[in-house]
Amino acid sequence: MSALLDPKRPVADLKELRALTGDENGAQRVAFTPMWVKTRAWLKQKLSGLPVETHTDAAGNFWATMRGESEKCLLIGGHMDSVPNGGWLDGCLNVIAGVEILRRLNAQYKGKPPVTVRLVDWADEEGARFGKSLFGSSACSGNLDMDEARGLVDKQGIKLPDALKNVGIDFERVKDSGKELHNADAYLELHIEQGPVLLDLDLPLGAVLGTFGVERHAITFHGQAAHSGSTPMNRRMDAFLAAAKMSPECYKIAERSGQGVCTIGSCTTKPGIVTSVVEECRITLDQRHLDAEKLSEMLYDAKAASERFAREGNVRVTWERLWQIAPRPFDDELIALCDESIRETHSKSHRLPSGPLHDAAEVAASGVPTVMMFVQSLHGISHNKIEDTKEEHLELCVTAFDKLAEKTMKWIQKRER
Ligand SMILES: [Zn+2]
């Protein structure tokens, strides 16, 4: 099998794509733009020598299907779109590794693998233009909020439905994409980690346990404005003092939770002048955990702490939920296969949750058994032109991901629906 797979070929493809769709500021493959259309054409051309049927679904997701001995179906996915000034690997590594797997399957099984294998390039994973991530995959999973999406507008004032019309997509029909998942028995996605965990462990590859659930709230402390000179310290109702105590508390809450994270990302004060005690202080809190129960504990603890700090400071506190999403755990058996593939390729695997959301989270939510594999990110950074991964690690991830695809095909064959 190893002779049929050429892990250097996808690396060369990635470099070719970078030259074609990037500039001195990074990748410029923003969804539904002319560059994105050009990227799709490039992808089609890469697939042209293979016995695959291709089509674009109702949500603009691009599918390449290699019919197998069975109608049971393995899906491999990623996204060719990027943020403006993005990195050269985020999203497209997944798809291009998938192309290499199709080449290997074609060579090994003479174009007819044991199960049907479908490669999908999800439309607008990044949400860079309309501020809404996972467009194509959430339309496919059925989770897309149509009323919200209908009203989305880009910086030029163009509405999402009009931008879609320009690339031949009828917004009102995007959920018809859901039929693509009817025969899906498993979904695999390779991705750069985008964080520093594997880098710090000095490991190239990891098996992903699922994507974090998120609780996002605005917390406002209400005190009283008072003159900064005439108000003794013991008479103040200082909204900022109470809000500020939340910061070290959040580190304690995250630590108690195990693998959770908490971020106070913004802080605004009123009246916001140098000569007044703060009357009102609004902070935003973003909490994430893979375990739903731990996530709700983190939220409970933050609420209890905010009330305690409000009482101590003689101020009031109110909470407003901004957004939430449940954790999306991946399939235990597929996680085990992913671990095994990594161990057979390299010596050691590591299991880790994903902080960022991915298309895989949408597929998992639709009930298709799902797993992701992460490859180490240098600098632990992405959505930036400095995003990078060692070439030897890119080759390793293609090899390990291909093994995972093969193991998953066997797993699908054995499994009752
Ligand atoms: Zn991505």
How far is the centre of ligand 1, averaged over its atoms, from the C-alpha of 133 (Å)? 10
Q: How far apart are the CA of 6 and the centre of ligand 1, in A?
A: 23
Instruction: Give CA–CA dist 129/213, Å, rounded.
Output: 24
Cα of 193 to ligand 1 centre, how many Å? 9
Cα of 83 to ligand 1 centre, how many Å? 9
Q: What is the pLDDT of residue 380?
A: 79
**Spans in the chain with pLDDT lower than 70:** 1-2, 417
In angstroms, rounded to a whole number, what is the distance separating the alpha carbons of residues 336 and 353?
14
Tell me the CA–centroid distance for residue 63 and ligand 1, in Å: 18
Instruction: Report the separation in Å between the CA atom of 360 and the middle of ligand 1, taken as the mean of its atom positions.
Output: 10
* Backbone torsions φ then ψ of 182, nearest 5 degrees: -55, -40
pLDDT at 382: 85
The helix/strand/coil state of 337 is: helix
156-170 pLDDT, tens digit each:
999 999 999 999 999
Separation of CA 145 and ligand 1 centre (Å)? 21
CA 328 to centroid of ligand 1, rounded, Å: 16
Give one DSSP letter per residue of 179-241, joined into a string. GGGTTEEEEEEEEE--SSHHHHHT-SEEEEEEE-EEEEEEEEEE----BTTTS-GGG---HHH
Tell how far the Cα of 316 is from the centroid of ligand 1, in angstroms: 41
Query: Can you tell me whether residue 72 is helix, strand or coil?
Result: strand
35-84 pLDDT, tens per residue? Answer: 999 999 999 999 999 999 999 999 999 999 999 999 999 999 999 999 99
Report how far ligand 1's centroid is from the alpha carbon of 100 (Å).
Answer: 19
Distance 319 CA to ligand 1 centre (A): 32
pLDDT of residue 347: 85
Cβ burial of 25 (10 Å; 0-12, 13-18, 19+) is: exposed
> In the prediction, which pLDDT does 123 show?
96
Distance 354 CA to ligand 1 centre (A): 11
Element (H, E) at 115: strand 115-121
Ligand 1 center–CA 93 separation, angstroms: 9
Place of tokens 């305690």: 308
Question: Are 284 and 216 within 8 A, CB to CB?
Answer: yes
Q: How many CA atoms lie within 13 A of 357 on its CB side?
A: 23
What pLDDT, in 10s, does the model give residues 184-229? 999 999 999 999 999 999 999 999 999 999 999 999 999 999 999 9
Give residues whose Cβ lies within 5 Å of ion ligand 1: 90-91
User: What is the spatial distance between Cα 52 and Cα 102, in angstroms, rounded to a whole number?
Assistant: 9
> How remote is the CA of residue 185 from the centroid of ligand 1, in Å?
22
Output the pLDDT for position 1. 46
